[in-house]
Structure 1
Amino acid sequence: MTKMTKAGFDSVHDTQHIFRELVEATSRPGTIAELTSYVEGLSPSVTFSKPMIGLALTLLDQEVTFHVQAENVKRIQEYIHWHTFSQAMEESEADYVFVSILESSRIASFMKHLKRGTLYQPHQSATLFIQVKDFKDGADADKFILSGPGIKDSTSIVVNGLDEEWIDARNEAVQEYPLGIDVCLVSEQGELVALPRTTKIERG
Structure 2
Amino acid sequence: MAIDHVHDLQFVYKKILDSMSRPGKIASLQTLAGRNDYNLQMLDATLLTIMTLLDREVTFHVLMDNGQNLPEKISEYTLATHTTIDKADFVIVLKGTPETAITNAMAQCKKGSLIDPHASATWIIESAFSDVHEGELMLTGPGIKDQTKLQTALTPAVWQARNVCVAEYPLGIDLMLTDEGLQVVCIPRTTKVDMMEVE
TM-score calculated relative to the size of structure 1: 0.89
Partner of 1:114: 109
1:61-88 Cα distance to aligned partner (Å, 9 max, x none): 1110111123435521111111111111
Whether the 8 Å CA contact 1:48–1:76 is kept in 2: the answer is no
1:8-19 → structure 2 map (5 Å cutoff): 8-19=2-13
Whether the 8 Å CA contact 2:103–2:158 is kept in 1: the answer is yes
1:98-151 Cα distance to aligned partner (Å, 9 max, x none): 10132222332210111000000001100001111242659xx95210100001
Give the aligned residue type for 1:168.
Q
Whether the 8 Å CA contact 2:131–2:150 is kept in 1: the answer is no
Whether the 8 Å CA contact 1:46–1:75 is kept in 2: the answer is no
Q: Secondary structure at the match of 2:181?
A: coil
Partner of 2:142: 149
Q: Secondary structure at the match of 1:10?
A: coil
Whether the 8 Å CA contact 2:43–2:179 is kept in 1: the answer is no
What is the alpha-carbon distance in structure 2 between the residues aligned to residue 122 and residue 51 of structure 1?
Answer: 27
Matching residue within 108, 123, 144 for 1:128 = 123
What is the alpha-carbon distance in structure 2 between the residues aligned to residue 194 and residue 154 of structure 1?
Answer: 15
Matching residue within 165, 173, 179 for 1:181 = 173
Long gaps (5+) in structure 2: none
Shift of 1:40: 3.0
Partner of 1:4: none
Q: Structure 1 stretch 126-135 or stretch 111-120: which is displaced more?
A: 126-135
Matching residue within 48, 52, 62 for 1:54 = 48
Whether the 8 Å CA contact 1:14–1:39 is kept in 2: the answer is no
Q: Secondary structure at the match of 1:20?
A: helix
Whether the 8 Å CA contact 1:53–1:80 is kept in 2: the answer is no
Give the aligned residue type for 2:117.
P
Matching residue within 185, 189, 198 for 1:197 = 189
Give the aligned residue type for 2:138.
I
1:4-43 Cα distance to aligned partner (Å, 9 max, x none): xxx4210111110111000000000111011232353012
**Pair 1:99–1:198, CA change in 2 (3 A):** same
Q: Secondary structure at the match of 1:192?
A: strand
What is the alpha-carbon distance in structure 2 between the residues aligned to residue 77 and residue 105 of structure 1?
Answer: 21
Paired positions, count: 195
Q: Structure 1 stretch 70-79 or stretch 9-18: which is displaced more?
A: 70-79
Whether the 8 Å CA contact 1:65–1:87 is kept in 2: the answer is yes
Task: Report % sequence identity.
Answer: 35
After superposition, the CA RMSD in angstroms is 1.8
Whether the 8 Å CA contact 2:15–2:27 is kept in 1: the answer is yes
What is the alpha-carbon distance in structure 2 between the residues aligned to residue 98 and residue 180 of structure 1?
Answer: 16
1:20-169 → structure 2 map (5 Å cutoff): 20-38=14-32, 40-72=34-66, 75-100=69-94, 101-135=96-130, 137=132, 143-159=136-152, 161-169=153-161
Whether the 8 Å CA contact 1:185–1:193 is kept in 2: the answer is yes
